[in-house]
Each structure stands twice: as C-alpha cells, then as structure tokens.
C-alpha cells in the first residue's frame, strides 16, 4: 500500500469509493433512506471533483487502485476518512490516519478533531480520541447521528 497526495485523476474513483463505502454500512446502523441521503445515487462527480480539488486529501492505493482517502484541514479537522469495502479491516484507515496525524503535527496542530459516524466512532476511540458530543445532523431530509470527537497530538 502507498499513501500519496490527491491527483485530479483520482476524483471519480474517490467519489465511487465514498458511495460504495456508505452504502456498504449495515441497515441495522443507518436506514436505507439515511444511507441514500448521506450519499445520493449516482454520485455527483462534478461536486466531488470540486471538493477534492479544494480539500486535497491523502490517498491510499494498491497497485495504482484507490482503496481509501482522508481529508485533513489545516486546523487538524478530519472531514472524511473512507476505505473501500473490499479493503476494510486491513489497516488502511489506520495507515491513512497516522499519515494525516504526522502531517498535522508537522503543521503545528496540537489536536485533531472529527465528526465521526456511528461506524467510525469505534475506530477513533481506538486512535485515542474522546467523544465531545453526540450530534443530530439533517442531510437531504434525513436525520443522521454522528459524534464530535477530538484527540491530542501532544501526548
């Protein structure tokens, strides 16, 4: 696995990965309507290209295939961390997280923070984050629960 900076040619693959990752979440966790609200079908490739050009995520690949990505803002905010369903449970999220954490430290951040989904909450707890609040977010007329979480980079 290699981790590198985003290239414009990654945009469609990342949009598809995001969509597949969201729709692979068990409907015991989020309803089909919530999953569709979170990631409407089909993906909006124009919106994703514009977003990714602005966010410039780190991208994990295996033999040139995009298998995950993480968006890190300059203040330590993680906006997205997604791994292709076929590669989940193989350390991809952890590798992306540590890559982003090192970048945040290099940029002088003292903390990282995220709004984690119900599924991602356990991962961020394992990475040393603490829950600050439970949030109810309305997206495309559906209520989604996520968690404001943060973790120190100085300890």
Instruction: Tell whether 117 is covered by a domain.
Output: no
The answer to whether residue 69 is domain-embedded is yes
Write out the residue range of the structural domain in which residue 39 sits. 2-109
Residue 154 lies in a domain: no
* SS3 sequence of the chain: CEEEECCHHHHHHHHHHHHHHHHCCCCCCCCHHHHHHHCCCCCCHHHHHHHHHHHCCEEEEECCEEEEEEEECCCCEEEEEEECHHHCCCCHHHHHHHHHHHHHHHCCCCEEEEEEEHHHHHHHHHCCCEEEEEEEEEECCEEEEEEEEEEECCC
Q: Does residue 137 lie within any of the structural domains?
A: no
In a domain, 126, yes or no: no
> How far apart, in whole angstroms, are the C-alpha atoms of residue 6 and residue 10?
7
User: 5-28: per-residue pLDDT in tens?
Assistant: 999 999 999 999 999 999 999 999
Question: Would 119 be classed as within a structural domain?
Answer: no
Residues of the chain predicted below pLDDT 70? 155
What CATH number is attached to the domain comprising 80?
A: 3.40.630.30
Please report the pLDDT score of residue 155 as a whole number. 61
pTM above 0.95, yes or no: yes
Residue 154: predicted pLDDT: 84
Task: Evaluate whether residue 88 is within a structural domain.
Answer: yes
Q: How many domains is the chain built from?
A: 1
- Give the β-pairing of 111-117 and 142-152: antiparallel
């Amino acid at each position: 696995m290699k981790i590198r900076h985003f290239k414009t040619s990654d945009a469609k693959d990342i949009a598809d990965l995001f969509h597949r990752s969201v729709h692979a979440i068990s409907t015991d966790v989020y309803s089909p309507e919530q999953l569709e609200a979170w990631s409407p079908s089909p993906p909006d490739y124009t919106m994703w290209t514009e977003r990714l050009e602005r966010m410039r995520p780190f991208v994990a690949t295996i033999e040139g295939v995009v298998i995950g990505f993480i968006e890190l803002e300059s203040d330590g905010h993680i906006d997205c961390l997604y791994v292709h369903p076929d590669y989940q449970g193989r350390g991809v999220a952890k590798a992306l997280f540590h890559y982003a954490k090192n970048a945040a430290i290099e940029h002088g951040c003292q903390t990282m923070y995220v709004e984690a989904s119900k599924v991602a909450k356990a991962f961020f707890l394992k990475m040393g984050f603490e829950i600050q609040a439970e949030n109810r977010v309305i997206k495309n007329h559906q209520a989604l629960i996520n968690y404001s979480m943060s973790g120190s980079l100085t300890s």
